[in-house]
Amino acid sequence: MSGDFSRRDLLHKAARGTVLATMAGGAGFLVKKANGQVVWQVDAARCLNSRLGEVGVAACNLCTTECVVSLSAVRAVNEHSRCGRCNICPAYFNITSAVDQRGLPSEKLCPRDAITRKPIGKADPEDPANNFYEYVIDEEKCDGCGKCVMQCKEPLGLGSIALKIRYNRCVDCNRCAISKACPKDALVRVKRMFA
Amino acid sequence: MSANTARTSACATWLFLLVTAAGLAQSIPYQRPVDTAPQEKSIGGGYRTPAVQKPLPRSSWLQLLDVGVLAAAMGISSWLVLKRRSRKALVALAIGSVAYFGFYREGCVCPIGSIQNVALALTDPRYSIPMVVTATFFLPLVMAVFVGRAFCGGVCALGAIQELVLLKPVKVPPRLDRALGLLKYAYLGLALFFVLKPAGGDFLICRFDPFVDFFRRTGPPHMLLIGGAFLLAGMFIGRPYCRYLCPYGGLLAWCTRLARRGVTITPNKELDCGLCVDACPYGAIEKMRAVRRNCLYCARCYAACPRDRKLVQLS
């Protein structure tokens, strides 16, 4: 054993040392290069559904159909502070449907019925129907089809609804399937922002 | 002269206006001024604007937890196999890994796929990877240099799910086994070629990961079919993806050549009965000795060894 030790063992140790040193070098290089976590985000100014000027075209639902996780990692978010709280919300109602007896469109726009509408604030005694309304999008129901986003912008809406990534669902694919399909390259990788 | 100057200045003004107009057109802010939307005051009735859910990325301590779990699981795996020699405990670990790395983390980030990210980050100056990915890639390799493929046994979610479905192992003829084993190096080369090719890389390993769609419980039908076929074949042929296709398995096999320790067939105590050879579904025991580059740390040989069972009973 001791006679065998010198050469074989030395070579073995040298080889192992070299491999480990190479790995350490590679890892060091990568760590030095690493600049924090990078995550996917939807650029609202590029997204076909939310960008200005895209009016009268069908809403793009690639975020729903392309995402690799079961319920898309993209969903619509209503930024309440920017919401117009309209009585006839073009994102809540299908404004091309027939008007019912209440004077409101009879159909809803959301195919998954993910938006709820409730009157808020002080009621107007003269005209009780003339209220402000709060529109809340159900996280669990929304699959990011973008129909409401397309409607809530100029000229009808204020653009308070935008598509966003839910990071509890996003698995951060190497090549985000949505980004490959997106016609406007609206899915971008950005450095992680700490809130 | 003066008319000329006037014309020039008119041109300049037009140009200036055009440029500014174009500039303005480009810089129209997406956000409308907030005061057009009714705020709490104008809504009245004590209304409070509800908070908007801000999507936060997976927090960094949870990412560190992933690396910690990976390191701990590999430690446990090597301890269970090398010291405890317990197949039962290893199966429990495999179930845990499928649950955590598979169904909870939905198969990402895994060392197998990270080959591509590491290769791209090493060569492309504009691309970098988070430290978590670097650690995920190197930890199992370092482990392999010391104790062999401890990662493959009960830690890798792809390996573990195949380990769990292997019910009736059939021996693959050694020559065929060896020939098919070369496929993984071809696949490694192909994956590197596709990810490094200049006109936009494609991540083949992730795209054709046969089990990730099960972990995510959704996926394109052809991948679910392929995954199902691998699992079905895996009931009889021991871990077909690991042995014949896994490119990371190829890297690990190279690293195990330097390993000092690993699964050994009970030195100085064996009966030469050959039960372990029959028990090994991966053809990793040749001439009554474990072949480290093929050994996948499943501990079946220990479970089948009459001597070993006796030793465990005695201790």
End-to-end CA distance of chain A: 62
Spatial distance between the Cα atoms of A151 and B168, rounded to a whole number of angstroms: 58
> Tens-digit pLDDT profile for chain B (315 aa)?
455 555 555 555 555 544 444 444 434 344 444 457 788 877 877 888 888 766 666 777 888 899 999 999 999 999 999 888 889 999 999 999 999 999 988 888 899 999 998 998 898 887 778 888 899 999 999 999 999 999 998 899 999 999 999 999 998 999 999 999 999 999 999 999 998 987 667 888 988 999 998 998 877 889 999 999 999 999 999 999 999 999 999 999 999 988 888 888 765 666 778 888 889 999 898 888 888 889 999 999 888 888 766 555 444
Spatial distance between the Cα atoms of A172 and B110, rounded to a whole number of angstroms: 12
Spatial distance between the Cα atoms of A187 and A165, rounded to a whole number of angstroms: 10
B48-87 tens-digit pLDDT: 888 876 666 677 788 889 999 999 999 999 999 988 888 9
Q: Do A15 and B106 touch (CB under 8 A)?
A: no
Query: Chain B 60-89, CB below 8 Å of chain A: which residues?
Result: 60, 63
| B131 in reach of chain A (CB within 8 A) | yes
| B139 in reach of chain A (CB within 8 A) | no
| B53 in reach of chain A (CB within 8 A) | yes
Ramachandran assignment for A56, one of left (phi > 0), alpha (psi -120 to 50 degrees), beta (any other): left
Spatial distance between the Cα atoms of A93 and A90, rounded to a whole number of angstroms: 5
Spatial distance between the Cα atoms of B54 and B67, rounded to a whole number of angstroms: 26
Q: Do B47 and A192 touch (CB under 8 A)?
A: no
Q: Give chain B positions within 8 Å (CB) of A79.
A: 52
Query: Which of B250, B230, B116, B77 is CA-nearest to residue B162?
Result: B230
pLDDT at residue B27, as a whole number: 40
Query: Chain A 55-74, CB below 8 Å of chain B: which residues?
Result: 68-70
Domain range summary for chain B, segments of one domain joined by +: 62-314
Which of B45, B50, B129 is facing A34, going by the closest CB pair?
B129
Which of A158, A168, A173 is facing B37, going by the closest CB pair?
A158
pTM: 0.72
Q: Give chain A positions within 8 Å (CB) of B107.
A: 171
Q: Do A23 and B142 touch (CB under 8 A)?
A: yes
Residue in B closest to A36 by C-alpha = B130
Q: Give chain B positions within 8 Å (CB) of A159.
A: 30-32
pLDDT at residue B28, as a whole number: 38
Q: Give chain A positions within 8 Å (CB) of B56.
A: 167, 195
- The SS3 call for residue A121 is coil
Which of A83, A120, A195 is facing B45, going by the closest CB pair?
A120
Placement of tokens 């399937």 in the chain: A177
Read out DSSP for A4-63? HIIIIIHHHHHHHHHHHHHHHHHHHHHHHH--S-EEEEE-TTT-TTTSTT--SSPPP-HH
Q: Do A195 and B202 touch (CB under 8 A)?
A: no
Q: Do A83 and B37 touch (CB under 8 A)?
A: yes
Query: Chain A 71-110, CB below 8 Å of chain B: which residues?
Result: 77-85
pLDDT at residue A194, as a whole number: 43
pLDDT at residue B40, as a whole number: 82
Q: Do A84 and B202 touch (CB under 8 A)?
A: no
> Tens-digit pLDDT profile for chain A (195 aa)?
455 567 888 888 899 999 999 999 999 998 888 766 678 889 989 999 998 888 888 999 999 998 888 889 999 999 888 888 888 899 999 988 998 888 889 999 999 999 999 888 877 777 766 788 899 999 889 999 999 999 998 888 888 999 999 888 887 787 788 998 999 999 988 766 443
| B222 in reach of chain A (CB within 8 A) | no
Evaluate whether ipTM surpasses 0.85: no
Spatial distance between the Cα atoms of B13 and B300, rounded to a whole number of angstroms: 85
A93-135 tens-digit pLDDT: 998 899 888 888 999 999 999 999 988 887 777 776 678 889 9
| A50 in reach of chain B (CB within 8 A) | yes
| A1 in reach of chain B (CB within 8 A) | no
| B122 in reach of chain A (CB within 8 A) | yes
Two tokens at B128?
């970098």
| A113 in reach of chain B (CB within 8 A) | no
How far A164 CA sits from the closest chain B CA (Å)?
8
Q: Give chain A positions within 8 Å (CB) of B118.
A: 26, 30
Spatial distance between the Cα atoms of A173 and B137, rounded to a whole number of angstroms: 16
Q: Do B145 and A19 touch (CB under 8 A)?
A: yes
Q: Give chain B positions within 8 Å (CB) of A45.
A: 30
Which residue in A9, A29, A37, A39 has the most chain B C-beta atoms within 10 A of its own C-beta, making it the best mutation to test that interface? A37
